[in-house]
Amino acid sequence: MKYIKRKLTIEKVSVETIAKKFGTPTYCYSYGKLKNNINNFKRNFKSFSPLICFAVKSNTNINLLKEIKKFGLGADVVSVGEMMVALKAGIKPNKIVFSGVGKTSHEIRYAIEKKILLINAESESEIKEIEKIAKIKKKKVQIGIRLNPNTDAKTLSQISTGKKENKFGVNSKSFIKLVELYKNSKNIELKCLSVHIGSQILDYKPYEKMLNVIMKILNKVNHKFEFIDLGGGMGISYTHKNKVFNYKKYNFAIKKFLNNYKSKIIFEPGRAVIGNTGILVSKVIYIKNSGKKNFIILDAAMNDLMRPALYGSKHKILPSSKSNRISKEIYEFVGPICESTDKFRTLKNFQKLKEKEIIAICDVGAYGMSLSSNYNVRTKPLELIIKGSKIKIIKKRQKHEELI
Ligand SMILES: *Cc1c(COP(=O)(O)O)cnc(C)c1O
């Protein structure tokens, strides 16, 4: 995203061109950024060449998954639906891991039939269920057990997953017990210890703590795990206040860990791969002054991008044409939906906007489209991928006929 001759552009295409050609609201992804993110991620950890499983829940567009697959990534899925999309995108089963606290027997059966790399189980009952199904199918199923390391990820409470009050994984005591119970099972192969402590984590220290907890437990169990799955969660900078995640320090901590415990590392990044690749292009429908502030009423709403309403998260908003006229009014960017939480940002000193102007909401590649809904019987936006000056539709705009 940069301004070329005062016009906001994604790769070589101006945001105004996109709005004119395709209408709004529209999600646009930069192929170049996606490629950079993946290559950087690989480079950061190249000394131990991890298996990188893209967290499909962050973006489920099958055409994006096909691109991600071409870089050799696998998939981390959290439902049978996501598994089907990943497989359909051509991702090999031996690069798919399956997480989630409530896998149904149908989902487990499907995963076993497809011979995916790992089912990362999150409770004793789930392991029992997997064992039962494996026995019926006369198979030996590779599983991981997800540990809840009780580590504070220092992120929003809504997206924290590794503390004892969170529903995810099992605590250290149960973990040790489960390893003893299942390490010699006929139908289960205990291959992996997995963790995932949360999302949008900007400090490497929680990961360091998590690695220490894992090491302590590994020293207590009499079993060798082939894989250590460290989950995802690496944060990106959404506003200038966010720092950048220190990959060097995280890499260093993992290398230290590996010196003491030889194993294959798995990562499950979502946001770090796709987050900053996407923008949501939207048009100002009306501007309404309420005395205290100006409501900038957009044609994009919380159904298109739910993160601000769901977590109070802040996304940068940029005008499509840059000017030097700064508004003295406070701008509150809202959508047309009948909910007071349907707002994106409240900003001071924004440049003066007019009705019908185009703006872009930035860094919406992760948990943007994948969290969208049809609330208010609103159709879901179009999705485009931009490569240089080439534009490709990767998902058509939904039509009302499909909904009614
Ligand atoms: C959501 C999730 C991820 C991805 O998290 P990001 O913050 O997008 O990297 C990885 N693993 C599991 C188990 C998850 O639930």
Q: Cis peptide before 308, with omega less than 30 degrees from 0?
A: no
**43 to each of 54, 120, 316, how far by Cα in Å?**
16, 26, 28
Answer whether 315 contacts ligand 1 (Cβ < 6 A).
no
Using DSSP bridges, classify how beta strands 227-229 and 188-194 pair: parallel, antiparallel or unpaired: parallel
In the prediction, which pLDDT does 363 show? Answer: 98
Rounded distance between C-alpha atoms, residue 131 and residue 127, angstroms: 6
Helices 172-182, 124-136: crossing angle, 10 deg rounding: 20
Length of the chain: 404
- CB-based contact 142:117 (threshold 8 Å): yes
Rounded distance between C-alpha atoms, residue 75 and residue 52, angstroms: 8
- CB-based contact 127:191 (threshold 8 Å): no
**402 to each of 300, 346, 377, 396, how far by Cα in Å?**
19, 34, 10, 12
- CB-based contact 7:320 (threshold 8 Å): yes
Q: Which structure tokens are listed for 222? A: 């009499």
CA of 128 to the centre of ligand 1 (A): 25
Q: What is the CA 335 to chain-centroid distance, rounded? A: 23
Answer whether 100 contacts ligand 1 (Cβ < 6 A).
no
- pLDDT tens per residue, range 312-336: 999 999 999 999 999 999 999 999 9
Tally of helices (H runs) and strands (E runs) in the chain? 11, 20
CA of 232 to the centre of ligand 1 (A): 5
- pLDDT tens per residue, range 208-235: 999 999 999 999 999 999 999 999 999 9
Closest-lying ligand 1 atom to the alpha carbon of residue 232? 9
- CB-based contact 188:130 (threshold 8 Å): yes
For the question of whether the overall pTM of this predicted structure is more than 0.95, the answer is yes
3-state helix, strand and coil shares in percent for the chain, rounded to the nearest 5? 35, 25, 40
Closest-lying ligand 1 atom to the alpha carbon of residue 269? 9
CA of 96 to the centre of ligand 1 (A): 14
Radius of gyration of the chain (CA): 23
In the prediction, which pLDDT does 375 show? Answer: 97
Nearest residue to 194 (alpha-carbon basis) of 247, 221, 232: 232
CA of 233 to the centre of ligand 1 (A): 6
CATH 2.40.37.10 in the chain, residue ranges:
2-29+275-403
Q: Which of 28, 192, 338, 362 is catalytic?
A: 338
- CB-based contact 51:266 (threshold 8 Å): yes
CATH 3.20.20.10 in the chain, residue ranges:
31-273
The CATH fold of domain 31-273: TIM Barrel (3.20.20)
Residue whose CA lies nearest to ligand 1 atom number 11: 231
The CATH fold of domain 2-29+275-403: Lyase, Ornithine Decarboxylase; Chain A, domain 1 (2.40.37)
- DSSP secondary structure letter of residue 397: P
Answer whether 229 contacts ligand 1 (Cβ < 6 A).
no
- pLDDT tens per residue, range 272-295: 999 999 999 999 999 999 988 999
Answer whether 228 contacts ligand 1 (Cβ < 6 A).
no
Residue entry with tokens 């909910």: 339
Amino acid at 128: K
To test the pocket of ligand 1, the residue of 118, 196, 364 to mutate (highest count of ligand atoms within 8 Å of its CB) is: 196
Q: CA 155, 341, 271: angle at the middle one, nearest 5? A: 35
362 is known as an active-site residue? no
Answer whether 103 contacts ligand 1 (Cβ < 6 A).
no
Closest-lying ligand 1 atom to the alpha carbon of residue 99? 13
CA of 272 to the centre of ligand 1 (A): 10
Per-residue pLDDT of the chain (404 residues; tens, 9 = 90+): 899 999 999 999 999 999 999 999 999 999 999 999 999 999 999 999 999 999 999 999 999 999 999 999 999 999 999 999 999 999 999 999 999 999 999 999 999 999 999 999 999 999 999 999 999 999 999 999 999 999 888 888 888 888 888 899 999 999 999 999 999 999 999 999 999 999 999 999 999 999 999 999 999 999 999 999 999 999 999 987 778 899 999 999 999 999 999 999 999 999 999 999 999 999 999 999 998 899 999 999 999 999 999 999 999 999 999 999 999 999 999 999 999 999 999 999 999 999 999 999 999 999 999 999 999 999 999 999 999 999 999 999 999 999 99
Rounded distance between C-alpha atoms, residue 86 and residue 180, angstroms: 33
Strand partners, 74: 53
Closest-lying ligand 1 atom to the alpha carbon of residue 57? 1
In the prediction, which pLDDT does 215 show? Answer: 97
In the prediction, which pLDDT does 94 show? Answer: 98
CA of 77 to the centre of ligand 1 (A): 9
Answer whether 160 contacts ligand 1 (Cβ < 6 A).
no
Closest-lying ligand 1 atom to the alpha carbon of residue 58? 8
Residue whose CA lies nearest to ligand 1 atom number 8: 270
